[in-house]
Structure 1
Amino acid sequence: MPIRISSLPRPLATVLTAFVAAVGRLDKSLSPSDTIARLRQYTFTLSDSIYILHITLAAFWITLMQFPPFPFKLVIPILYAIFLLIPLTSQFFLPAIPVASWILTFYTSRFIPESWRPSISVSLLPTLETVLYGANVSDILTRFTHPVLDIIAWLPYGLIHFVFPFVVAAFLWLFRPKQALHLWARTFGYMNLIGVIIQILLPCAAPWYELIYGLTPANYSMPGSAGGLGRIDALFGSHGYETTFSNSPVVFGAFPSLHAGCATIEALFISHFFPSMTKYIWVYAGVLYWATMYLTHHYLIDVVSGACLATACFYFFLPDEFRGPLATAPPTTPGRRSKYDVYDLEEPRSRGAEVDDFELSSASDEEMDITYRSPLPGQQQQQKPSEQGKKSHRHTASIASLIRAEERVEDGWSPIIGSFAFPPGSPAASREREDSRV
């Protein structure tokens, strides 16, 4: 027996309804010829030159890539090109090009020859920490540990961090215009790409290195460490985090903290596109900031720099149209216009709107709003100063012509009576008076 959506709990029914609608908005074509036809009709602009950078960057990293070996590594660009040609998949993989560039850069950085790499800084971050904040804040936060605190730190840092970007993308896809999802992929991808490039060009040791090796010089042959996450491995009797971090492609990538950057960019997107969730998402971000230092993976300056990088990327890529009511508008179905577009109405704001914002006004003498037309000929009501210059309403309700009909005869309006009344002084009115005399 099929399950009715209306019988489900309201949150689940809302998500399921939005999912069905989102799937209906997808381009389900599997023909590459459709994509080629769109490319022929597309007008390229200067901003499209960014794809040349992505192609160049991908070619560089694939050349350096040692695993998988040649020619198997060529499968990566071939598959991605196929996904871009198929309309069904291209609508996801095209906006995700910055994300793909970041993942490729992060993974392949392990194959950079050591002769190309800059020297590793061990004392830069703790020195800046002390100079800027008066103490080594991250060291203070790690002096007291407890299994409960370990779990609280592990959840956002070692678990939710890797899942939450997909959650944000899913909610933007379901409940906001598709441009919001494209903005998320672009901003999230470029922020992480910039962060990884900084980590490669300015390698710095994390607090766990200072706890293990002190301030002795580091080299690229040293394995990474799980830091405080090692206590989570011991708690669950596993070696997952120790294995993962010891084989990390960027062992000395403490600055900036991309954990803090991701939490910040997620909080900015959620608070901007879903304002009702603002306080909850920033609580999550605050807990993750603390977790990065408690687990000895970042200094406070790393957290601050990651948050600043995310904020700069968010406001740099945020277009003007998403700075207004469109940020909280529901998605639109292609080929289907809203009632505001159909009737040429200005869409009202959901909150903070005043009555004056929706009053009708006149833009010209040829297009006079009936609301401000005087019942007496030759007289018109004076408009308020706040109403001048507003967008005119081209569609007036016909029912307005029936209001106070008897009082509008002098202006040429017919009352709701059995006979038709002519305006005084008109030839038709004179003939009617003569006929009545006869």
Structure 2
Amino acid sequence: MSTPQTSSHAPLAPHQTTLVPLTSRTPFGFLRWLLLNILAALQRLDLSLNPSHTFVKLRRHRWSFKNDYPYLIMAFFASISLFVMDASPLFKLLIPLGYLIITTVPFLGQFFFPGTPVLAWVITFFCARYVPTEWRPDVHVALLPTLESVLYGANISDILTRFTHPVLDVIAWLPYGIIHFVIPFVVAAVAFVFGPRGSINYWGKVFGYMNLTGVVVQIVFPCSAPWYELIHGLSPANYSMAGSAGGLSRIDAIFHSHGYTETFSTAPLVFGAFPSLHSGCATLEALFLSHFFPRFRIAYWMYCCVLYWATMYLTHHYLIDVVGGGCLATFFFYYLMPAELREWETGGVGRFEEYDLLDRESTSFCFHLHPPSLVARGSFLHVRLASDP
């Protein structure tokens, strides 16, 4: 194979010379490239349904408190959640039994075991409504607006809510009420198909731990949101009060529905303003994608900025909540990142960037004559064409 033509790029690394380029291709070629990457990712899946394979791995695992203490923490919060849950003992028993099944069957376990922190966060969040009132601390009503005025010189979140418009409502609603719930799955899918080995497990761990920590902070340090100040002023709050959709009630009015109003009125955590997990998730997603796929980092952070603004515009968070969520995400992102993922094969270039590097010799597409063969080298997919030796 001749040396690739790279007049505008640095010399190619050996593993890059047979990559199908992303640019200079027809839409059909791009879809073919995408399909091949997805198929290669699916080929890495463990299709076994035999739980004994998992038990063998457990016996071989070298247990240590330093490496395994997070599972004790998650088990603690899950146990507390089950204890306070207002449900029948049989239903409570089915939850750990179901977890045991989905984590010991290899085919299911490869998805759900790395997502254990996410499952711990979900059950802790939804069971927060059952925590007895006598266990709960007093709700902080004046603390956040006071801190915001002291630290930033003004109540920034209040300023952002003084002018509202249906167009702004929709712009704020899209990232806050819809995209926020979709992006984590998109990031996981991208990491699974294009990311280096271990990136999908790292994503599940950091996303789950950050959200679990945020929910625990919201339970032990309850704070009211800006919507409470607009409705009740700074009068003391109690746990019998219903939640409010804040600015999202205007979305209900636009679509003639009551979805957000009913959802937030019965929210598990009515006084969970600090930290903002909306901003924490957005920050974490931007950090993760910027690290592994930096080509589109401007778009990632633009989304973050819009979501930061939306949390305050919709009266769900103060600026200090947004800052707290961003700091929480940044801490977990760097604290939990494995050493092998800090510097990976592309040297920080990112998979999407690689496909701009064009190997002239390997670009004679002969799919109709000779199907390509997939060769896995490390975590990268190589498509060897008919012209390759």
Unaligned runs of 5+ in 1: 1-5, 341-438
Q: Which of 77, 87, 97 is 1:57 aligned to?
A: 77
| Structure 2 counterpart of 1:260, from 279, 283, 308 | 279
Q: Shift in Å at residue 233 of structure 1? A: 0.4
Tell me how far 1:70 sits from its aligned partner.
2.0
- The whole-number CA distance in structure 1 between the counterparts of 2:256 and 2:64 is 55
- Give aligned pairs, total: 332
Q: Computing the radius of gyration over CA atoms, which structure comes out larger, 1 or 2?
A: 1
Query: Which of these residues, 159, 163, 172, is aligned with residue 153 of structure 1?
Result: 172
What residue number does 2:149 align with? 130
1:181 aligns to what? 200
Partners in 1 of 2:269 and 2:126 — Cα distance? 8
Partner of 1:411: none
CA distance in 2, matches of 1:228, 1:35: 48
Cα RMSD over matched residues?
2.2
Shift of 1:111: 0.3
Q: C-alpha separation between the residues in 1 aligned to 2:112 and 2:82? A: 19
Alignment of 1:116 with 2:127, yes or no, is no
After superposition, residues 263-412 of structure 1 pair within 5 angstroms as 263-326=282-345
Shift of 1:14: 3.1
Would you say 1:247 and 2:266 are equivalent positions?
A: yes
How far did 1:319 drift? 1.9
Contact 2:284 2:330 in 1 (8 A): yes
Deviation of 1:78 (Å): 0.5
Question: Matched residues in 1 for 2:28 and 2:270: separation?
Answer: 46
| Pick aligned residue for 1:27 from 37, 41, 46 | 46
> Structure 1 residues 39 and 26, CA, compared in 2 at 3 Å: closer, same or farther?
same
For residues 54-90 of structure 1, the C-alpha deviation after alignment (integer angstroms, 9 at most, x for no partner) is 22322221111113x2212211111110011100011
How far is 1:320 from its partner?
1.9
Superposition misfits of 4+ residues, deviation over 6 angstroms: none
Is 2:184 aligned against 1:165? yes
2:125 matched to 1:80? Answer: no
Q: Distance in 1 between matches of 2:76 and 2:52?
A: 26
2:196–2:379 CA contact under 8 A, matched in 1: no
Give the structure-1-normalised TM-score: 0.73
For residues 364-423 of structure 1, the C-alpha deviation after alignment (integer angstroms, 9 at most, x for no partner) is xxxxxxxxxxxxxxxxxxxxxxxxxxxxxxxxxxxxxxxxxxxxxxxxxxxxxxxxxxxx
- Aligned counterparts of 1:211 and 1:144: Cα–Cα separation in 2: 14
Give 1:268 shift.
Answer: 0.2
Note the alpha carbon deviations across 1:92-144, whole angstroms, 9 max, x for none. 11111111111111011110000000000110001011111111101100000
User: Could you tell me how far 1:37 is from its partner in structure 2?
Assistant: 1.7
Q: 1:213 is aligned with what amino acid? A: H
SS of the residue corresponding to residue 270 of structure 1 reads: helix
Q: 2:328 & 2:250 partners in 1: Cα distance?
A: 30
Q: What amino acid sits opposite 2:156 in the alignment?
A: V
CA shift for structure 1 position 7: 8.7
Aligned residue in 2 for 1:48? 68
Change (3 A) 1:328 1:84: farther
Residue identity matched to 2:246: G
Residue by residue over 1:142-180, the C-alpha shift from the partner in whole angstroms, topping out at 9 and shown as x without a partner, is 000011101100000000001100000000000012410
How far apart, CA to CA, are the structure 1 residues paired with 2:277 and 2:86? 26
Tell me if the contact between 1:187 and 1:313 (Cα under 8 Å) persists in the aligned partners: yes
What CA distance in whole angstroms lies between the structure 1 residues aligned with 2:270 and 2:174?
Answer: 22
CA distance in 1, matches of 2:175, 2:377: 41
Shift of 1:17: 1.7
Q: Is the 8 A contact 1:293 1:300 kept in 2?
A: yes
Percent same amino acid among aligned pairs? 56
Whole-angstrom distance in 1 between the partners of 2:266 and 2:32: 43
- Contact between 1:205 and 1:253, CA under 8 Å: does it hold in 2? yes
Q: Aligned partners of 2:46 and 2:280: how far apart in 1?
A: 33
What TM-score results when the alignment is normalised by the length of structure 2? 0.82
Q: 214, 232, 242: which one pairs with 2:251?
A: 232
Q: In the aligned structure 2, how far is the partner of 1:157 from the partner of 1:99?
A: 20
User: Is 1:265–1:311's contact at 8 Å kept on the other side of the alignment?
Assistant: yes
- 2:295 touches 2:350 (CA, 8 Å); kept in 1? no
Separation of aligned partners in 2, 1:336 and 1:214: 61
* Aligned pairs for 1:63-102 within 5 A: 63-67=83-87, 69-102=88-121
Identify which of 97, 102, 106 aligns with 2:125. Answer: 106
Alignment partner, residue 196 of structure 1? 215
Counterparts of 1:147 and 1:248 in 2: how far apart (Å)?
Answer: 25
Instruction: For 2:82, give the aligned amino acid.
Output: I
Structure 2 segments unaligned to the other structure (5+ residues): 1-24, 352-374, 381-389
The amino acid of 1:50's aligned partner reads P
